[in-house]
Amino acid sequence: MMARLLAALVAFALSVAAPAAAPFDYRLKPEKIADDTWVLIGSTEDITRGNGGNIVNTAFVVTKEGVVVIDSGPSRRYGEQMRAAIARVTDKPVVRVFNTHHHPDHFLGNQAYADVPIAALPATRAGERDDGGAFADNMYRMAGDWASGTEPQVAQQDVKPGRLTVGGHEFELIALEGHTAGDLAILDHRTGVLFAGDLVFLDRAPTTPHASVQRWLKSLDALAALGAKKTLPGHGPVHAGSAGIEQTRDWLKWLDQTLMQSAANGLDMAEVMRLPLPERFERMPLARSEFERSVTHLYGAYELRALDSVALPVLQQK
């Protein structure tokens, strides 16, 4: 009886352990969205032990001179598997990597490209240096062993804004800000594809841990003026037209208004977090949790402006 029970338990343990013991395969399948242009679309979830942090879009462009990679993903494993996926598409070597900004899901795969020049805006490089360690720890906390062995590898080169031609592709490197202090957008003039990084989200609520809403809105105007044929947002589906820009702008304006009004009405943070979402955002993935996070990131500044009437001290203190 006891032996049987044990055997059953062992069998159960093995059956549970088997999928977890699989070699952490992100199952990356490059999708071709334009000439020479491939993307890896992540889920629109939060980072979990189930998805290993694959919640992000990355891309690569296969030029005559070699492959240009845009963002390296959330972990060392992702970077390695992305590089293997690239090798399944082309024999050409990876010649250059760009990090669009310093958030962990976009650059913690850099280790897989240690032999390739990695470039980012100066503010992005500074962010990778200052926050990278904490980001890697937190990725491990959220994604578990998917992230083991992941260390921040800081981009070695500054991006110089302007045109850069690689193997017949004329890339416009556009230095913007607002989602973070340094947001690189890349327009490929050859294909009309805009790699927008996290300045653009579509059907996934935008994140704001290092955001300046006003600067972000200005950057969206600059992106809209490009008139790109196709846009790869940092999170969400590839799309033609400006749906991502419009939706991100709509969210940010609503967020700004909501926080301003809440502060003017005297609400406290935890109360603001409970406010109803507008119908158009109710079913957007992560709308509630990103709104809660944004209240923590941003409300303090709105609140301080509303508390402008400094009370008069009636007693001088030593």
Partner 1 sequence: MKKVIAALGLALALAGTVQAADADPLNSSRWPDLQREYLNDAPVAFDPRIEVLAPKVAEDSMNVPVTVRLKGLPDVKRVLVIADFNPIVKVLDFQPLLAQPGLSFRIKLQQASPIRALVQTGDGNWLAGGVWVDAAGGGCTAPSTGRSAPDWAQKLNQVQGRVWRDGQNQRVRLRIMHPMDTGLAPGIPAFFIEQLAIVDDKGDAMLKLETFEPLSENPVFSFDLPDTGAVALRVVGRDNNGNRIDAKVQP
Q: Where along the sequence are the contacts to partner 1 (CB under 8 A)?
A: 138, 141, 209, 265-271, 273-274, 289, 292-293, 295-297, 300, 303-304, 306-315, 317-318
Q: How far is the CB of 4 from partner 1 (least distance, A)?
A: 31
- The DSSP letter of residue 73 is B
Of 271 and 282, which CB lies nearer to partner 1 in the complex structure?
271
Q: How far is the CB of 247 from partner 1 (least distance, A)?
A: 23
Q: Are 93 and 119 in contact (CB under 8 A)?
A: no
Residue type at position 159? V
Residue type at position 58? T
Q: CA–CA separation, 159 vs 273, rounded Å?
A: 38
Q: Among candidates 109, 115, 120, which has minimal Cα distance to 28? A: 109
Q: CA–CA separation, 245 vs 188, rounded Å?
A: 18
Of 118 and 181, which CB lies nearer to partner 1 in the complex structure?
181
Of 115 and 308, which CB lies nearer to partner 1 in the complex structure?
308
DSSP output for 214-260: HHHHHHHHHHHHH--SEEEEEES--EETTHHHHHHHHHHHHHHHHHH
Q: How far is the CB of 292 from partner 1 (least distance, A)?
A: 5
Q: How far is the CB of 278 from partner 1 (least distance, A)?
A: 20
Half-sphere exposure of 73 (CA within 13 A, CB side): 33
Of 18 and 310, which CB lies nearer to partner 1 in the complex structure?
310
Q: How far is the CB of 26 from partner 1 (least distance, A)?
A: 24
Of 15 and 309, which CB lies nearer to partner 1 in the complex structure?
309
Q: Are 169 and 9 in contact (CB under 8 A)?
A: no
Q: In what order do the strands lie in the sheet with 157-158?
A: 31-34, 37-40, 58-63, 66-70, 94-98, 118-120, 157-158
Q: How far is the CB of 311 from partner 1 (least distance, A)?
A: 4
Q: How far is the CB of 183 from partner 1 (least distance, A)?
A: 21
Of 196 and 259, which CB lies nearer to partner 1 in the complex structure?
259
Contacts of 112 (CB under 8 A, 6+ apart): 72, 76, 78, 79, 80, 82, 83
Element (H, E) at 297: helix 287-306
Of 195 and 291, which CB lies nearer to partner 1 in the complex structure?
291
Q: How far is the CB of 134 from partner 1 (least distance, A)?
A: 9
Of 1 and 315, which CB lies nearer to partner 1 in the complex structure?
315
